[in-house]
Amino acid sequence: MKKTIIAFLLITMALLTFGCEPADPSGSVEAEEIVLKEKEVTLSAINETYAIEAEVKPANASDKTLHFQSMDAGVCDVNDQGVITARGNGEAIIKISCGKAAAEFKVKVSSQSGTVFTNVLKGCEERFYPTLTLYDDNTFELVENVYEGMTVMKGHYATNFLEYILTVEEQSFNNNPIEVQWPSISLMTMNEDYLQLITPMSMSGFGDVFSKDKTPVEFETYWYEVPGVAQEYWTTLHLYTDRSFELDENFMEGIEIVKGVYELTPSHQYIFNVMETTGRTGYDYGQISMQDSDVGLKILSDLYVLKKGEVFTAFERKISL
């Protein structure tokens, strides 16, 4: 009996010695798993960013520091906070680790080539500036940020000489689809760097200018209103602060674009020296003169359509920020 008890005690001691893993003397708890809120993302523009959301488990892990590594820096890179930045079209894997725990996040970059125009709104933070992106495949994205959220309009656009016509096919507010509010939006080209809005929206109003590369512009716009004719077909005159001008004379068969430089005499007379004419009529504008008055600019010499005595009225003055 005595021998049996001794043998039992020896076996129990052996099990305790070799069958149990000794506790970590430091008391640290290792990370066992990395849980991702999303496992992949598609970025549609170069330099677009996305923040990976990840959680380390167990919750009481001693070290929850995450390490991120992009497996293809040509597609995207990632910083220490897990913010991805798109660098080129393609697919890449972001490897995430915390101690022995690991996870992978898939990134796809599929950007379109296009031109971004920005409505630099006076008194607004830059993040609220409306933007219009015209893609090379004749699609567009118009974004208006307001304090309540973000409205995005997408569709196709067509050009009619100086006019850009946007056909809105879908609209969303804070990523939720809503009914299209402006099925058709029109803008007129002032030159290759500026588009002037003809259709008013929520943040952008009639006459607002979308400029390339957020380049501010200072100018005055004058309109010759034709009764019973849509505003986009009124003749316009843009006077820039660098003393250049653009006259877009509309008529039934098309439009004449007249450019050059102007001077203002002491008697408040504008002298327009024409340097370039684009159109089909071949009309020689020569030198144009107009008299500034309380009602607008009175034409002192005949144009192709408009005649001496007719008046351009001031629409609005746009001031650069």
Residue 181 has pLDDT above 50, yes or no: yes
User: 25 lies in a domain?
Assistant: no
The confidence score (pLDDT) of residue 20 equals 46
Query: Do 228 and 321 have their domain in common?
Result: yes
Does 299 map to a domain? yes
Instruction: Classify residue 28: in a domain, yes or no.
Output: no
Query: Residue 104 domain-assigned?
Result: yes
pLDDT confidence band for 257 (50 / 70 / 90): confident
Res 285 pLDDT > 80: yes
**CATH assignment at residue 40:** 2.60.40.60
Together in a domain, 302 and 224 = yes
Does a structural domain hold residue 155? yes
Indicate if 226 and 320 belong to the same structural domain.
yes
Asked which of 75-79, 159-163, 239-243, 250-254 is least confident by mean pLDDT, the reply is: 250-254
Are both 242 and 295 inside the same structural domain?
yes
**Where residue 248 sits, what CATH number does that domain have?**
2.40.128
**108-147 b/e (C-beta count within 10 Å ≥ 16 → b):** bbebeebebbbbbbeebeeeebbebbbeeeebbbbbbbee
- Domain end position, chosen among 75, 92, 109: 109
Beta strand 40-43 with 101-109 is: parallel
Same domain? For 199 and 131 the reply is yes
pLDDT digits (tens, 9 = 90+) for 60-94: 999 999 999 999 998 999 999 999 999 888 899 99
CA distance 29 to 134: 53
Cα maximum dimension of the chain: 132
Give the separation between CA 188 and CA 69, rounded to whole angstroms.
46
CB-count burial class (<10 Å; 0-12, 13-18, 19+) for 13: exposed
Domain end call among 109, 127, 154:
109
Residues 229 and 319 in one domain: yes
- Are 143 and 205 part of one and the same domain? yes
Half-sphere exposure of 90 (CA within 13 A, CB side): 13
- Residue 4: what pLDDT? 58
Q: Rounded mean pLDDT of the chain?
A: 83
Q: What is the mean pLDDT of residues 108-136?
A: 83
Contact call for residues 219 and 316 (beta carbons, < 8 A): no
Q: Which of 16-25, 251-260, 288-297 has the lowest mean pLDDT?
A: 16-25
**What does the pLDDT read at residue 87?**
86
Q: Are residues 117 and 210 in the same domain?
A: yes
- Domain coverage including residue 145: 113-215
pLDDT of res. 15: 52
286-305 confidence digits (pLDDT tens): 899 999 888 889 999 889 88
The pLDDT value given to residue 321: 25
> Is 80 exceeded by the pLDDT of residue 23?
no
Higher pLDDT, 206 or 65: 65
Label residue 29 exposed, middle or buried (CB < 10 Å: 0-12, 13-18, 19+).
middle
Residue 106 has pLDDT above 90, yes or no: yes
How would DSSP label each residue in 92-122? EEEEEEETTEEEEEEEEE----EEEEE---T
* pLDDT for res 318: 37
Residue 12 lies in a domain: no
242 and 294 inside one domain: yes
* Burial state string for 298-317 with b = 16 or more CB within 10 A and e = fewer than 16: bbeeebbbbeeebbbeebee
* Of 19-23, 65-69, 139-143, minimum mean pLDDT range: 19-23
Question: Residue 83: what pLDDT?
Answer: 94
**Same domain membership, residue 178 and residue 129:** yes
Q: Is the pTM of this model over 0.75?
A: no
Q: Are residues 205 and 248 in the same domain?
A: no
- Residue 143 falls within a domain, yes or no? yes
- Flag whether 227 is in a domain: yes
Contact between residue 147 and residue 137 where contact means Cβ atoms under 8 Å apart: no
- Under the banding of pLDDT at 50, 70 and 90, the label for residue 5 is low
Give the pLDDT score at 50. 94
Domain count of the chain?
Answer: 3
> How large is the average pLDDT for residues 266-290?
88
96: nearest Cα among 112, 114, 78: 78
Q: Per-residue pLDDT averaged across 223-246, rounded?
A: 79
- 203 versus 261: the higher-pLDDT residue is 261
Give the end of a domain, one of 93, 109, 125.
109
Both 194 and 223 in a single domain? no
Q: How confident is the model at residue 56 (pLDDT cuts 50, 70, 90)?
A: very high
